């Protein structure tokens, strides 16, 4: 999935400074990475090619989460499904980056770059920004990048991020003004935002993106840093992946615009993981198919404490413990009146033959702590060919981190409140928002 909001011209006299604001609300546009509006759009791919590629990225991302020893950024860096365009510096310099609820640091490739991956767009040059300042090692801000921080010979704070797929970003930790273009047409500026100015970046990064914008829970994430202005709240509403046109966009809301309340809204606690502090860790108590309720097994979660699953906007599928997935998948297969089929992409286990999109599905509910979330057809199945649909859930062994992915989140307004430690869900028509 890919958040992107276009910033073509920024008029300094119209920029709202959020330094003294509290719970200011604004909204930016989100666009899927495979949208025709995205620079990553590939016109030679079919709709089903793009879905298969999304599944492949989802699987690769999850493998990296499980194998990484770096608690600060245990993600597959190019697996993020959404892009975000922000501006850095004075005057504002636009960058396009992966927006990810599974990572923290906001970083971009910077001139001069001794070892950079190929980037299509111009690179940010900090010497041309009147508000750019490197963070000294003596500053408490130097700890924002976690265990990856160090000092240069001239006592400037350096950051180092190693991703699960062996990609990396190294450079100076700095502060500069971050500007975002809201859907109201009024840019919003946030002075002295901590960013990473990457001078050594390599791996599987896409040439159409300049870096990563972290929306996780760490001190260096965009959400945490905007906290005084937005109350630590953001929300999004993701359109179903089956939207073949991919021309519409959705929204990323901050502050008062991110409230999720009213009819059908439910909330579940966010837990803090000692090892994976970036993640939004939740407790999934059970999954229901019709009258059959399957409890989440008592597994030794890597998240620790009560949490047993993370919610992630950059992962396509939902991954459950193998025993729970077996019970859940079998109950779906027994309840749906369709013949079994093979997955043409060879990724998923529970697939069925049908050429119509008007097939009947059983009622399914995800029972989070304090929040029952009923799923619709578009949250459960994904079409992988003209005559094959598959259950968009996968199985992990009990020593893995389980993930609530973005297909299950589609057509829900999903709100994050890092101040009150809650994630909220409200059924919605995301195409109409």
pLDDT, tens digit (0-9, with 9 covering 90-100), for 361-393 = 999 999 999 999 999 999 999 998 899 999 999
Q: Is the pLDDT of residue 53 over 50?
A: yes
Distances (CA, A) of 197 to 98, 128, 161, 350: 15, 13, 12, 44
pTM of the entire predicted model: 0.83
- Work out the pLDDT band at 273, boundaries 50, 70, 90: confident
Per-residue tokens: 121: 């767009």
- Give the least confident one: 65-69, 203-207, 237-241, 320-324: 65-69
What is the predicted pLDDT for the residue at 161? 86
What is the predicted pLDDT for the residue at 63? 43
What domains appear along the chain, each with residue ranges and CATH number? 12-251 (2.40.70.10), 262-432 (2.40.70.10)
Q: Is 280 helix (H, G, I), strand (E, B) or coil?
A: strand
Q: Is the pLDDT of residue 164 over 90?
A: no
Per-residue tokens: 249: 């966009």
Catalytic, out of 34, 100, 176, 259: 100
Q: Which pLDDT tens digit goes with each residue over 98-132?
A: 877 878 889 999 999 989 999 999 999 999 999 99
Catalytic, out of 104, 165, 176, 312: 312
What is the predicted pLDDT for the residue at 97? 84
Residues 6+ apart with CB under 8 A from 431: 239, 243, 248
What is the predicted pLDDT for the residue at 61? 46
SS (H, E, C) 80-124: CCEEEEEEECCCCEEEEEEEECCCCCCEEEECCCCECCCCCCCCE
Top mean-pLDDT range of 2-6, 37-41, 239-243: 239-243
Rounded to the nearest 10 degrees, how much is the dihedral formed by the CA atoms of 313, 318, 320, 324?
140
Contact 141, 175 (CB under 8 A): yes
Q: Which pLDDT tens digit goes with each residue over 288-304?
A: 999 999 999 987 678 88
Is 154 tagged catalytic?
A: no
Is 312 tagged catalytic?
A: yes
* Average pLDDT value over all residues in the chain: 81
Residues 6+ apart with CB under 8 A from 358: none
């Amino acid at each position: 999935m890919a958040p992107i909001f276009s910033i073509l011209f920024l008029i300094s006299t119209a920029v709202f400074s959020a330094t003294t604001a509290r719970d200011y609300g604004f909204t930016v546009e989100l666009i899927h990475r495979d949208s025709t509006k995205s620079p990553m759009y590939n016109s030679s791919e079919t709709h089903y090619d793009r879905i298969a590629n999304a599944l492949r990225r989802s699987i690769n991302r999850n493998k990296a989460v499980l194998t990484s020893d770096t608690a600060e950024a245990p993600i597959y860096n190019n697996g993020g499904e959404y892009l975000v365009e922000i501006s850095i510096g004075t005057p504002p310099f636009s960058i396009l980056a992966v927006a990810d609820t599974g990572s923290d640091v906001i970083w971009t490739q910077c001139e001069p770059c001794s070892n950079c991956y190929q980037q299509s767009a111009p690179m940010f040059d900090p010497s041309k920004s009147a508000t750019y300042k490197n963070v000294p090692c003596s500053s408490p801000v130097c700890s924002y990048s976690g265990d990856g921080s160090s000092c240069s010979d001239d006592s400037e704070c350096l950051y180092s991020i190693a991703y699960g797929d062996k990609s990396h970003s190294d450079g100076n930790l700095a502060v500069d003004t971050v500007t975002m273009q809201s859907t109201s047409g009024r840019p919003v500026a946030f002075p002295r935002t901590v960013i990473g100015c990457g001078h050594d970046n390599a791996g599987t990064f896409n040439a159409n993106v300049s870096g990563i914008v972290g929306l996780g829970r760490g001190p260096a994430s965009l959400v945490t840093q905007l906290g005084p202005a937005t109350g630590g709240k953001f929300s999004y509403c993701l359109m179903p992946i089956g939207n073949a046109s991919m021309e519409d966009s959705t929204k990323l809301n901050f502050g008062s615009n991110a409230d999720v309340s009213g009819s059908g809204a439910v909330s579940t606690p966010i837990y803090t993981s000692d090892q994976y502090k970036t993640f939004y860790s939740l407790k999934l108590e059970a999954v229901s198919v019709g009258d059959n309720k399957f409890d989440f097994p008592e597994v030794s979660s890597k998240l620790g404490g009560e949490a047993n699953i993370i919610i992630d906007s950059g992962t396509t599928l939902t991954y459950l413990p193998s025993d729970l997935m077996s019970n859940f998948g079998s109950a779906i297969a027994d309840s749906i009146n369709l013949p079994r089929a093979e997955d043409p992409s060879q990724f998923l286990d529970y697939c069925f033959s049908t050429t119509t999109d008007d097939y009947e599905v059983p009622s399914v509910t995800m029972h989070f702590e304090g929040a029952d979330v009923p799923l619709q057809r578009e949250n459960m199945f994904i079409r992988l060919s003209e005559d094959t649909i598959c259950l968009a859930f996968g199985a992990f062994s009990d020593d893995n981190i389980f993930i609530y992915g973005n297909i299950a989140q589609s057509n829900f307004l999903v709100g994050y409140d890092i101040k009150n430690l809650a994630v909220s869900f409200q059924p919605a028509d995301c195409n109409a928002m």
